[in-house]
Structure 1
Amino acid sequence: MKTANQRPGVTITDSKTTVLLWAPKANKVALKLQHTQKELQLEQQPYGYWQLETDEIKEGDRYKFVLDGEKELPDPASLHQPDTVHGPSEVVNVQAFNWTDTEWNNTALQDYIIYELHAGTFTADSTFAGIESKLDYLVELGINAIEIMPVAQFPGNRNWGYDGVFPYAVQNSYGGAKGLQQLVDACHKKGLAVVLDVVYNHMGPEGNYFGEFGPYFTDKYNTPWGNAINFDDAGCDAVRHYFIENVLMWFRDFHIDALRMDAVHAIKDFSAEHILSEIRSRVNELMQQTGKKHYLIIECDLNDTRFLNSQEVGGFAMDSQWIDEFHHALRLAAGGEPTGYYSDFSGVADLAKSYRDAYVYDGQYSPHRDKHFGIKAENNPGEQFIVFSQNHDQVGNRMLGERSSELFSFEMQKVMAGAVLTAPYLPMLFMGEEYSEPHRFMYFVSHTDAELAEAVRKGRKAEFAAFHAQGEAPDPVDEKTFIDSQLQWDIIAQQPHQTMLSFYKALIQLRKTLPALHHLNRKHIWTDVNEEQNTLILRRKHYVQEALILMNFSGNKQSLSLPDTAQSWKKQFDSADVQWNGPQAAADEVNGGGTVELQPESFIIYINE
């Protein structure tokens, strides 16, 4: 039998139901149907696989695997866990959904404007249907891609998603597999691409039964979450197959447009072909078969272009990556505290470097890491980098989960938005920032194991023991922490939130329509920094059009000189305009070589053609 193109778990086709399980430790394997208690025996196959073809299993049946007549366990490739991570798995025919998106073509990556959201806190419903109810709002905002934080089944109903233990099962409380398919179909109708955040570097602790089946983990490497997933040790072939098929399932059966793979620097693999490169090759094969385009996006803390470079030059050919260093430099420029990893950054000078070079650290010494770090990203196009002023990590991993709306003034929030949306990279917003949501986004879990819940609670307190002057770390297990992290849709019509939302809409529209901002040409970028003034000038060009973005991160008015050009500079956007609750707009037109007085904490966009 061949497993190369067969998804693990229970798969329904027109003619039969196929069961595939990798359990090399077992001497006997059966599938036990919960409603009849009947056990169907699987046949042993090479390399530790067990298989069954039958017409006795139907959609909606609940089951567990029985190993050696003793252990009854849920399916590691379960598609639905209706009764928690410890209960039986349920058969779902994910290929039976009635799609209406046959005309959909994925948005070109260089055009992506991404909106990161969490299904549980985006609306009070905490469901995919709740997200669907807000799609018109997102379209009107101007974004064209939503990025959904992980939805793999986790314990309870409240979790960031990074404690998932069933990578194939969609969280039951959000709406399960059918709910996600319905949301994707609805998004495509509205012209929105869907990015799904997936976790291939670790599994959560509760409900993690993988070790009972086989060597899914290896003690060759340690990660922040314990032993690494086994991508290159004995028995790794089946583990690689498991995750590759998971990638293909999201694209093929759920019509997901892109995956964002969490912390790939924690994926340990010294195989001749790295797992990311193999995923790339298999996705390429799928795209050739279907004619549909899918992107692979990574979070990576290595500043290593090998992850982005083509396979022809030994790279892994990922399409894009989050770039935290832009965020860190921007936060420092805006007046954030230089503590922890922020201590490596100097503010406007490093922000200017990130505009030019993507990575701030591309070979120089990093004091925080105490080593030389990174490599230059000279030949990587702008769409290979994603920038933001906040995201779930940078907000939620603060002790109190404060957003920029609480940490920075209204004017500075606008400057930070301008810094992101004028960058020569893909911009990403974090849900609620577009109207200055004041609710914090805190860390929350709902482990059903009381001991584990208490351990998480204590661990969170210990992590921030040095910060008691700021108060107590919120209890991650308390449901109130979760509810207090939800967006407040009723405040959008109030001030100043209404003004901020209008501001974001106008700025996003300008990015889309101004060629010098829209095209991600990294070859025609110039910056001019005045660290004493805390000002930065970003100059971008596309053919005859030049855009000039003047940014003042200081609390004082600053005079900046414009480049000496034959054409005058015409203003396109001014964050200090009174229509955005600013103090005073600058002149609409300035001659080349002239000066502009920038209001405190403001930015202006000029063009000449």
Structure 2
Amino acid sequence: MTAFELWAPSAAAVDLDLGGERKAMRRDGEWWRLDVPSAGPGTEYAFVVDGGEPLPDPRSPWQPQGIHGPSRVVDHAAFPWTDAGWRAPDLAGGVVYELHVGTFSPEGTFDGARSRLDHLASLGVTHVELMPVAEFSGDRGWGYDGVDLYAPKSTYGGPDGLKRLVDECHRRGLAVLLDVVYNHLGPAGNHLGRFAPYFTERHRTPWGPAMNLDEAGSDEVRRFFCDNALGWLRDYHFDGLRLDAVHALIDQSAVHFLEQLAREVEALEGEVGRPLVLVGESDLNDPRLVRARDEGGYGLHAQWSDDFHHALHAFVTGERGGYYADFGSLADVAAALERVFVFDGRYSAHRGRRHGRP
């Protein structure tokens, strides 16, 4: 049996589409629900809101026909994991290899990447960081335009292919992090706004309306992203997440989304009995990201050092366009290594103001 559910607070009617057969769902507050005893793993389905076209489940676990096709039911408990007792090495002092599944092997798949893990181990890598794998338009891509955030890319190998890769990494002593994108969705196949207020015009990002983290309906939006993060860590055995461009997660709530996420990941850590980490990417140069929550921070475990990247890139290549205009000297590289932030309250010519804090 599968319990189907959908958050669609403004809908007058929602049908569950099972291969062309439609069943009316029942309203339960802002949610719509229907239990189907005959629908087991492998069942394909879609949701029909107010008589419109069938749309994939916002929480679809698998999109075997891509972003516009039906969703497919997955039983995560059925996978034969072999990594019992696994504990990831400390991230501090680790060697992280950023891996793009689509180009890492000739096959461009999870199984193809699995066949090349000896190469990574020989390099001294301790952590493999997969670039985003949530379902996106096309067969290959960077992954930063994902739209089915719960569904591993079908052309890479889908849910079981990803689990095999993580399981094999753990067998070889490699921790695995996943790059997740919560600040926007790609343009093609982005149906979230047709279901509920996932976006807000109150805040804007370089990609358009921001994710709704602090307006009416934001409790469920935050739940959507937190459940997504917990699912990758629990159901796919990832050891941590790299959070893309968190400065674009605009949230004026008293408890910032990142703080909520860190608390929930910490609770999951106790349940699964292994260490889990959150790594933020941010250009704010604000140590609050990694400061302990009892000291007023968000409690992430680490953050990307953009200043080190920019300083080294500008020094080696001589490039001075955009934000590289603020960098270029060996002293900048040294400052990034010694203080983390080159701009820790200094004036930034590129930004035309002071930037960052110690």
TM class by shorter chain equals over 0.9
Corresponding position of 1:135: 117
Corresponding residue of 1:23: 8
Matched, 1:285 2:267: yes
Which letter does structure 2 place at the counterpart of 1:27? A
**Where does residue 177 of structure 2 map in the other structure?**
195
The residue that corresponds to 1:176 in the other structure is 158
Within the candidate set 1, 4, 22, 1:39 is matched to 22
Query: Residue 208 of structure 2 is aligned with which of 210, 226, 238?
Result: 226
**Residue 66, structure 1, aligned to residue 48, structure 2:** yes
Identify the match of residue 285 of structure 2 among 303, 314, 318: 303
Question: Which residue of 322, 346, 349 corresponds with 1:367?
Answer: 349
Deviation at 1:95, TM superposition (A): 2.3
Determine which of 81, 86, 94 is the counterpart of 2:68: 86
Change over 3 Å in CA distance of 1:67–1:339 after alignment to 2: closer
> In structure 2, what is the equivalent of residue 315 of structure 1?
297
1:79-136 residue CA offsets vs partner (Å, 9 max, x unmatched): 1111121111111112221100002111112132100011111112010011001001
Identify which of 149, 170, 173 aligns with 2:131.
149
Cα separation, 1, equivalents of 2:348 and 2:93:
33
Picking from 38, 43, 50, the partner of 1:56 is: 38
Distance in 2, Cα, partners of 1:283 & 1:356: 30
1:335 CA displacement? 4.5
Partner of 1:272: 254
Who is 2:327 aligned against? 345
Q: Using the alignment, how far apart are the partners of 1:287 and 1:41 within structure 2?
A: 38
In the TM superposition, residue 71 of structure 1 has moved relative to its aligned partner by: 3.3
Secondary structure (helix, strand or coil) at the match of 2:92 reads: helix
Structure 1 residue aligned with 2:224, among 238, 242, 262? 242
| Kept in 1: contact 2:82–2:167 (CA 8 A) | yes
| Cα-to-partner distance string for 1:412-464 (whole Å, 9 max, x where unaligned) | xxxxxxxxxxxxxxxxxxxxxxxxxxxxxxxxxxxxxxxxxxxxxxxxxxxxx
The answer to whether residue 87 in structure 2 is matched with residue 102 in structure 1 is: no
Are the equivalent residues in 2 in contact too, given 1:112–1:144 (CA < 8 A)?
Answer: yes
Question: How far off is 1:41 after superposition?
Answer: 2.7
1:337 Cα deviation (Å)? 2.4
What amino acid does structure 1 have at the position aligned with 2:199? F
Q: Is the 8 A contact 1:331 1:347 kept in 2?
A: no
Deviation at 1:332, TM superposition (A): 3.0
Worse-matched range after superposition: 164-173 or 86-95 = 86-95
- Is the contact made by 1:113 and 1:145 (CA closer than 8 Å) also made in structure 2? yes
Cα deviation 1:190-213 (Å, max 9, x = unaligned): 000001000000000001111110
Q: Which amino acid aligns with 2:136?
A: F
SS, match of residue 71 in structure 1: coil
Q: Retained in 1: the 8 A contact 2:315–2:327? A: no
Gaps of 5+ in 1: 1-15, 377-609
Q: Which amino acid counterpart does residue 96 of structure 1 have in structure 2?
A: A
SS at match of 2:45: strand
1:133-161 alpha-carbon deviations (Å, 9 max, x no partner): 10011111110111111000011102110
Q: Is the 8 A contact 1:307 1:315 kept in 2?
A: yes
**TM-score, normalising length from structure 1?**
0.58
Q: Tell me, yes or no, if the aligned pair for 1:114 and 1:144 is still in contact at 8 Å.
A: yes
**For the residues of structure 1 that align with 2:26 and 2:319, how far apart are their CA atoms?**
61
Q: Provide the C-alpha distance between the structure 2 equivalents of 1:237 and 1:301, rounded to a whole number of angstroms.
A: 26
Q: Indicate the structure (1 or 2) with the bigger Cα radius of gyration.
A: 1
User: Once the 2 structures are TM-superposed, how far is the Cα of residue 70 of structure 1 from its aligned partner?
Assistant: 3.2
User: After TM superposition, where is structure 1 displaced by more than 4 Å over at least 4 residues in a row?
Assistant: none
- Matched pairs, number: 358
| Preserved contact between residue 149 and residue 197 of structure 1 (Cα < 8 Å) | yes
Q: From 126, 134, 138, give the equivalent of 2:108.
A: 126
Task: Tell me the distance in 1 between the aligned counterparts of 2:149 and 2:352.
Answer: 36
Structure 2 residue ranges without an equivalent (≥5): none
Work out the percentage of aligned pairs sharing the same amino acid.
47
Secondary structure of the structure 2 residue equivalent to 1:73: coil
**Superposition map of 1:140-539 within 5 A:** 140-376=122-358
* Equivalent pair of 2:318/2:328 in contact (CA under 8 Å): no
CA–CA distance in structure 2, aligned partners of residues 347 and 269 of structure 1: 35
- 2:100 and 2:245 mapped to 1: Cα distance? 18
User: Per the alignment, do residues 149 and 244 of structure 1 end up closer, same or farther by CA in structure 2, a change over 3 Å counting?
Assistant: same
CA–CA distance in structure 1, aligned partners of residues 313 and 42 of structure 2: 49
Q: Deviations over 1:390-412 (max 9, x none)?
A: xxxxxxxxxxxxxxxxxxxxxxx
C-alpha distance 350-273 of structure 1, shift in aligned 2 (>3 A): same
Give the AA of the match of 1:84: G
Q: TM-score, normalised by structure 2?
A: 0.97
| Structure 1 position 56, deviation (Å) | 1.9
- Cα pair 1:334 1:347 within 8 Å, conserved: no
Match of 1:558 in 2: none
**Structure 2 Cα separation of the partners of residues 42 and 281 of structure 1:** 34
Displacement, 1:39? 2.3
Distance 1:98 1:300 in 2: 37
The 3-state SS of whatever aligns with 2:103 is coil
2:5 is aligned with what amino acid? Answer: L
> Whole-Å Cα distance in 2 between the matches of residues 257 and 366 of structure 1?
36
What displacement does 1:65 show?
0.6
For 1:120, the aligned partner's letter is G
Per-residue deviation, residues 323-377 of structure 1 (Å, max 9, x unmatched): 111122122332522232111113111111112101000011111100011110x
Query: Structure 1 365/87 Cα, relative in aligned 2: closer, same or farther at 3 Å?
Result: same
Q: Secondary structure at the match of 1:109?
A: coil
SS at match of 2:214: coil
